[in-house]
Structure 1
Amino acid sequence: MAALTFGFLMDPLETVRVDHDSTFALMLEAQRRGHQVRYFEQPWLRFGGSCAEARMRTVTVRREPGRHFELLDEQVRPLSSLDVLFLRKDPPVDADFLQATQLVELCNGREPVFLNNPTGIRDANEKLFGLRFPELMPETLITRDLTAIAQFVSRHPQGTILKPVEGFGGQGIVFLQPGDRNTRSLLEIITLGGKKAIVVQAYLPESRQGDKRIILVDGEPCGAVLRVPAHDDHRGNMAAGGTPVKTSLTPRELEICARLKPSLQERGLYLVGIDVIGDWLTEVNVTSPTGLAEIDKLDNTNVEAKVIDTAERLVGQRR
């Protein structure tokens, strides 16, 4: 395919970890194929009267910590100058992020191919989207009602997981067991005194063996990594200190992927990371799913190549 222009809406490039960051892996693969790579941050995005535009930086990238990119050019450009735009701003999905997903669509039919589709991102809250498939999820309650939460905790002797609806990277996740004298205070803190709904989920003992991040590209599983929590923590997230371990997919996990595929494709969610503990789906990550670098290293594969393949195919179909 002829050279394309790939854009990345992302967090500051200066801060990425070149051995871990999935967005950086995608940039490297696009560049390896001869495509031009540009990036911009969310505050640099604006609407210019006829098309959304941004102050974009054209860069070359390399896997050298501290010297991982070189700036070639920086100027305001319309989003229509991009063939592909990866929306890879890390959560939380707050008001600013939602506004950005609306701005990028304002190109009068000349918008780039999106990975992922902005409408799909808005539609698929990472903690709530899986609830469309209750048969795949552990018992879950979404509420700000302190009494209802306390009753849920009391009914689950093995424990309960509490987490913010907009949380990410393992932040704010709490494990509670019945009879814990901190229960009332913790519930008041995490719900802001009953003003903010949270996710209340039955604890899955299998989480001690790790939770599995599965990467789906256009609905198909393309690799997985088991994230094993530290001995003194209940969170497997690598951002929270979890250890990546080589793994494979079980028949149940393949079934979960197959059930999700039509809904993901319908919404233009081409790059998704789902989290599975034991036999249960716990999250569907669509904003900036991570794990590509770890899967590549453990399985000696190249997951990002499949993502760029998909982007090139979508551009070809549009043309």
Structure 2
Amino acid sequence: MKILVVLDPLASLKIYKDSSYAMMREADSRGHLLFTCGAENLRVKDGIVEAQATQLHFTGTQNGHDWYTQSDTAITALKDFDAVIMRKDPPFDQQYFYATQLFTLAEAQGAKLFNRGQALRDFNEKLAILKFPQFTAPTLVSQQESDIRAFLSEHGDIILKPLDGMGGTGIFRLTQADPNIGSIIETLTANGTQTIMAQRYIAAIKEGDKRILLIDGKPVDWCLARIPKTGETRGNLAAGGSGVARPLTARDREIAEALGPQLAAQGLLLVGLDVIGENLTEVNVTSPTCFAEITAQSGINVAALFIDALERHSAR
């Protein structure tokens, strides 16, 4: 297959843990041709969605930036690749939104996008949980300080988070005893002009914020519990959390098997569910991670499962 991966600069990847790197390595090991570009390298000319794409070659080393070389940059229509994988990290800003629109146009021209542009737009990673209220903790979405204060008064201990971040950026735990309630709310809502999410604090975060991977609607049998470091509320690895792979619990599997077929039907080949305790907290669709950690600790080759699914869908 001829595969295009749209992602952040290759030199920025931390290859010892990067899931995009893992999936590209697996594809390369099977003899597939790999090309990469940034979202800024997409364009439409004469009505056709194209990318200024460069072929990727692995060097065999896994140190520093010497793990790859590039060659043969060319303008190529997205429909001329067997698969296009969107792996650019959030934030889901206006430029990201434009890219998803180009993907939808490219699909109409015959391109195969993973995940689909329409699905990326439909599933905001925070708001998507509202589609599945049977699995969530009490949740509020608002930009009004009065709403957030009332929610805090009702539950006493809550989490506030922006709707477009990643890696735990901008997440606050707030209690009624906090002396900075007003300041935190004003900062996150930009003085009442930006909508945020509030959720009841889930004490089970101490046992880990579990990342459950869905590939083609089916859960990987092990998840990664991201455990907060001492003095920290967030379990995100980017915020210093430690990752411990664990088999799925009965509740994890219940959530995953309920959501999996629905998400796959929307064109989401790869999804990362975040579960704390018994509760679904996020549905990650932009560039789900944790391939390397789960593979290293469980022996499950997550990248192989993903490329298997990619090959099946590209052959259709």
TM band (smaller chain): over 0.9
**CA-to-partner distance for each residue in 1:126-159, whole Å, 9 max, x for gaps?**
00111111110010000011011011112223x1
Corresponding residue for residue 53 of structure 2: 56
Q: Does 1:203 align with 2:183?
A: no
For 2:105, what is the secondary structure of its paired residue?
coil
In 1, Cα distance between equivalents of 2:107 and 2:254 = 39
Say which of 8, 12, 19 aligns to 1:15. Answer: 12
Q: Which moved further from structure 2: 42-51 or 268-277?
A: 42-51
Shift of 1:15: 0.7
In 2, Cα distance between equivalents of 1:190 and 1:213 = 25
Corresponding residue for residue 246 of structure 1: 245
CA contact (8 A) 1:25 1:292 kept: yes
Residue type of the alignment partner of 2:237: M
For 2:104, what is the secondary structure of its paired residue?
coil
Aligned length, in residue pairs: 313
Give ranges in structure 1 of 5+ residues lacking alignment: none
Say which of 36, 41, 50 aligns to 2:38. Answer: 41
Residue type of the alignment partner of 2:14: R
Corresponding residue for residue 175 of structure 2: 177
Q: Does 1:5 align with 2:22?
A: no
In 1, Cα distance between equivalents of 2:226 and 2:121 = 27
Shift of 1:41: 0.2
Moved over 4 A (4+): none
Corresponding residue for residue 120 of structure 1: 119
CA contact (8 A) 1:50 1:108 kept: no
Corresponding residue for residue 274 of structure 1: 273
For 1:24, what is the secondary structure of its paired residue?
helix
In 1, Cα distance between equivalents of 2:192 and 2:280 = 27
In 2, Cα distance between equivalents of 1:29 and 1:287 = 20
CA contact (8 A) 1:52 1:105 kept: no
Root mean square deviation of aligned Cα? 1.2
1:140-219 map, 5 Å:
140-157=139-156, 159-219=157-217
**CA-to-partner distance for each residue in 1:221-256, whole Å, 9 max, x for gaps?**
113111001102111011111101121111111110
Query: 1:170/1:107 Cα in 2 relative to 1: closer, same or farther (>3 Å)?
Result: closer
Shift of 1:108: 7.3
**CA-to-partner distance for each residue in 1:202-231, whole Å, 9 max, x for gaps?**
000010121100111011111311100110
Shift of 1:109: 4.2
CA contact (8 A) 1:11 1:89 kept: yes
User: Percent identity of the aligned residues?
Assistant: 39
Residue type of the alignment partner of 2:314: V
Q: TM-score, normalised by structure 1?
A: 0.95
Q: Which moved further from structure 2: 304-313 or 72-81?
A: 72-81
In 2, Cα distance between equivalents of 1:169 and 1:261 = 23
In 2, Cα distance between equivalents of 1:15 and 1:163 = 26
CA contact (8 A) 1:115 1:269 kept: yes
